[in-house]
Amino acid sequence: MKKHYIVSLLLIMLFVCLNSNVFGQEKTSTKNNVTKSQVTKKAKKKKTSTSSKKKVAKKVGITKETVQQDNLKTKICSDSLVAKAKSYLGTHYKYASFSPTAGFDCSGFVYYVFSTFDAKVPRSSIDYGSLKDTIAPESAQIGDVIVFTGTNAKIRHAGHVGIVISNPGEELTFIHSSSNTKRGGVIISTYKSSPYYKVRFLKIVRLENAVVGNCGL
């Protein structure tokens, strides 16, 4: 009887121990699975977040670039530019000035006209000498800037500028502020009929910060 009791007790203890080990393994396995699942979810979330950030950054970059490209050049209607320039005809010449009331020097006139359209151009005539977008006289169009030497044609540096107000196929015509004592101030001249300007001619440049064209197109 005692033996049977002891054997039964041992069997019960063995059963409890076995169940305890199995339960512990299952619990550990479940815990490990939960941990792995959480790590996987976090990794996926982090990857998605990083990917989203990259997409957003890329999108923002494109937007900034687009805005910058749009702001690089100011669009000006050719008719408006010519009308504005001609509205100052007769304004007298004044050295180192860009005022419609006080007067204009040559570069001051060009600078002031374009500034009314929020287009930034060089203030000094000598700075036009470094502009590289050179246009052939027969291809010059409204809004291009014609560049000459100063009064001494032998010194081949930019010293006088004007705004082209003609288009290809037309006689090359420009408006400028002349320092001529007899016929000075803002006037209109033609290239062919002005031998004095032919000798002083350097080049015609197209502005980098402005696009002048027909607004009807």
DSSP 93: B
The candidate with the shortest Cα–Cα distance to 80, out of 146, 163, 138, 10, is 163
Going by pLDDT thresholds of 50, 70 and 90, the confidence category of residue 195 is confident
**End-to-end Cα, the chain, rounded Å:** 115
Domain ranges of the chain: 1-72, 74-213
Report the interhelical angle of 106-115 vs 78-86 (nearest 10°).
Answer: 130
pLDDT at 190: 95
Query: Looking at the DSSP assignment, which residues form a beta bridge with residue 201?
Result: 148
Cα 193 to its chain centre, rounded Å, is 39
3-state helix, strand, coil in the chain (%, to 5): 50, 20, 30
Question: Does the model's pTM come out above 0.75?
Answer: no
Q: Which two tokens stand for residue 96?
A: 């180192």
Q: What is the DSSP string of 28-86?
A: HHHHHHHHHHHHHHHHHHHHHHHHHHHHHHHHHHHHHHHHHHHHHSEEEEHHHHHHHHH
pLDDT (mean) for 102-125: 97
pLDDT (mean) for 118-145: 96
> Which class would CATH give 74-213?
alpha beta
Residue 179 near residue 93, CB atoms below 8 Å:
yes
CA distance 66 to 60: 10
pLDDT at 4: 55
pLDDT at 50: 46
Residue 35 confidence (pLDDT) above 70 = no
pLDDT at 61: 33
Going by pLDDT thresholds of 50, 70 and 90, the confidence category of residue 113 is very high
Query: Looking at the DSSP assignment, which residues form a beta bridge with residue 176?
Result: 187
Residue 131 near residue 121, CB atoms below 8 Å:
no
CA distance 122 to 131: 10
Residue 141 near residue 168, CB atoms below 8 Å:
yes
Residue 204 near residue 134, CB atoms below 8 Å:
yes
Residue 17 confidence (pLDDT) above 90 = no
